[in-house]
Structure 1
């Protein structure tokens, strides 16, 4: 490959954020080598094609390479020669893939989230490639302030512990001089600010849709952050491509929050009639409706019995990205306008019910 066309090895390309990264990296001229699970080349290509969903223009599609690999398997499920070939020509590894499950224990998630990170660090070190690790705010202890590169405060829960462990592996590898690394810790990633394309597994967006559908809104003592996927992916690519970002960590969340009450207010402004219910009664209503509707059941079973919170990271003040990128730092859209625009786009796409 010409030296001005870097090869980026990307994991997680079939996910919500990872597919957005694949598009943005290809559009900026990278050859993007996407690690995808699948028994055959056709199956892998189909999975990635479905994830990209027509977002990559024809002129950039030749920059996408699909290669086999499974994060849950030792050495990515590859024989030695194929594992070595995976890193050939790679100048940067963007590790965005993970198994996200908030109920499974550490051991069940260890392979995909920790061991795979070790394997990819080894591959990057052998190729003298930089390493961009997409960690998670789940790895950050509740009392941690700032954006420390090395996390020392432990966390709880299997998923959080695996992301904490992998985060530490990356920071130690950088501090030992084995490679150059940057750690990125997104929180909740919300719908695209331009298209409204959203993550079907996101609980916040599921609660909004259920509220509009049932005409019932929970009364919650929480705040929300809207960090659209296009803004987060733009930050990831900008920071991964900046040498001065190495050795630092970045919390990729919008600095501004909204009270939950702004959500029912926006739904009412969009034409929906809502009855406010205390959370326990609202949850019971959703569980009852879910017995008749599989789509509602999916959301209902994700609802905790304890009070629902969408943002408990009051100590998180994301400042490092603005300091590093300076005038190139993109600001997220206004939260109020973003919420209003997203609801409008969901209505047009049929993702919200018709206004009665």
Structure 2
């Protein structure tokens, strides 16, 4: 086995002509899971890294000899359109209205893959992942600068969480990787799409109830009352860098996620991906406490003390 270095942000990944020719002739599978995942960058800024790299890898896939292509996408790509009531396990046909550059880059890449799959009829798959969390046994994971955990810790600092229709969903990284590796050893002509999220979810209130029982108490608040606190967040609150995501309308219900293809795959592979949330949250909290990652700085602003009185926060 050899390693060929490349850069997703550079034309043709910055490969030398010799390396490009070698890849065209010798590889048989491409797993494309690299991307700039910054959710505040524009589509124009992300196009080279997230879209043009996909186009190049698709060209590589159909050159010299046919290759299997597996693309890691995001379940959130369905949120590009407010009219997307269902997330199908197939091509997303509704045109996007979302301005989020990351989601638009994923949507555009999916459309490219669908087009190549129709034209070449090769074994192409799109895997839309949800909230991939730490290892199910060790707890190791990306807790710093991670949106989900920043949201969680910021709410624990406030002591209050909003009433939301949005569900909490987790799928440990080791379970996800095991599923993907097994999928890569299955073959089928044409495009396959899988919505790979945990089929079991938690209500927001149930999630914070678990954390309360682990020594991190919060209280539920009406959304509009909770959002008032965002105006006065202290700099040390984990929500501060991402508060723009939670300042608008959060009352929408998440689209229904179809998973028939996933269920058939799991049956074929004799796998289960559901988890016990109580147990897995214990693992994650224990890991972060041991690594001093659950240190929650107190809220110091007087206005925040006032606004947080009488309640307490996903």
Shorter-chain TM-score above 0.5: yes
User: TM-score, with normalisation over the residues of structure 1?
Assistant: 0.71
What is the aligned partner in structure 1 of residue 291 from structure 2? 349
Deviation of 1:97 after TM superposition, in Å, equals 0.8
Deviation of 1:131 after TM superposition, in Å, equals 0.3
- Cα 1:234–1:147 change in 2 (3 A) is farther
> In the alignment, which of 69, 74, 79 is matched to residue 16 of structure 2?
79
Give the distance between the partners of 1:338 and 1:255, measured in 2 at CA: 15
Give the distance between the partners of 1:94 and 1:75, measured in 2 at CA: 16
- Cα 1:342–1:209 change in 2 (3 A) is same
Give the distance between the partners of 1:271 and 1:245, measured in 2 at CA: 51
Deviation of 1:146 after TM superposition, in Å, equals 5.1
What is the aligned partner in structure 2 of residue 190 from structure 1? 133
Query: Is 1:138–1:160's contact at 8 Å kept on the other side of the alignment?
Result: yes
Query: 1:195-234 deviations in whole A, cap 9, x for unaligned?
Result: 222323322211223344x362322313211122222222
> In the alignment, which of 125, 129, 134 is matched to residue 72 of structure 2?
134
Q: Does 1:209 align with 2:146?
A: no
Give the distance between the partners of 2:212 and 2:28, measured in 1 at CA: 50
Query: 1:84-103 deviations in whole A, cap 9, x for unaligned?
Result: 23445211000001112223
For structure 1, list consecutive stretches of 5 or more residues without a partner in the other structure.
1-30, 32-64
Give the distance between the partners of 1:192 and 1:170, measured in 2 at CA: 30
- How many corresponding residue pairs? 283
Give the distance between the partners of 2:121 and 2:189, measured in 1 at CA: 16
Query: Is 1:133–1:182's contact at 8 Å kept on the other side of the alignment?
Result: yes
Query: Is 1:73–1:111's contact at 8 Å kept on the other side of the alignment?
Result: yes
Give the distance between the partners of 1:347 and 1:310, measured in 2 at CA: 33
What is the aligned partner in structure 2 of residue 314 from structure 1? 255
> In the alignment, which of 163, 178, 184 is matched to residue 220 of structure 1?
163
For structure 2, list consecutive stretches of 5 or more residues without a partner in the other structure.
297-314
What is the aligned partner in structure 2 of residue 170 from structure 1? 113
> In the alignment, which of 59, 69, 74 is matched to residue 6 of structure 2?
69
The alignment yields a C-alpha RMSD, in angstroms, of 2.7
- Cα 1:124–1:71 change in 2 (3 A) is same
SS in 1 for 2:13: helix
Give the distance between the partners of 1:313 and 1:236, measured in 2 at CA: 25
What is the aligned partner in structure 2 of residue 279 from structure 1? 226
User: TM-score, with normalisation over the residues of structure 2?
Assistant: 0.79
Alignment of 1:8-27 (within 5 A): none
Give the distance between the partners of 1:275 and 1:312, measured in 2 at CA: 22
Deviation of 1:258 after TM superposition, in Å, equals 0.8
